[in-house]
Amino acid sequence: ALALAQRYNLDSRDGGARQRLDSTASEDGVWECTFVGECSEVCPKHVDPAGAIQQMKLAASLDWFGRLLGGKES
């Protein structure tokens, strides 16, 4: 589900990135992943869920720092 959310986040035509970021950046979202990478190894569709989760962690961190420093929300 997180890899699919990231796919939509990367689509410039989609306008729901803010809502997905708020949802996936919660304590029960991307931060539960310890980046073992097993999900990517066993994925039957050969997508990279672990990589997508790490990208979402980066986006959430940049958003948090931006808000902390008084910048605009992404």
Question: What is the count of structural domains for the chain?
Answer: 1
In a domain, 74, yes or no: no
Contact 39, 30 (CB under 8 A): no
List the chain pLDDT tens, one digit each, 74 residues. Answer: 788 888 888 888 988 888 888 888 888 889 998 889 999 999 999 989 999 999 999 999 999 999 899 876 55
**Between 49-68 and 2-9, two packed helices, what is the crossing angle to 10 degrees?**
60
In a domain, 55, yes or no: yes
Q: What's the domain range around 30? A: 2-68
Contact 74, 66 (CB under 8 A): yes
The DSSP call for residue 26 is: S
Residue 28 confidence (pLDDT): 82
Cα(50)–Cα(68) distance, integer angstroms: 27
Cα(12)–Cα(28) distance, integer angstroms: 26
| CATH code, domain carrying 6 | 1.10.1060.10
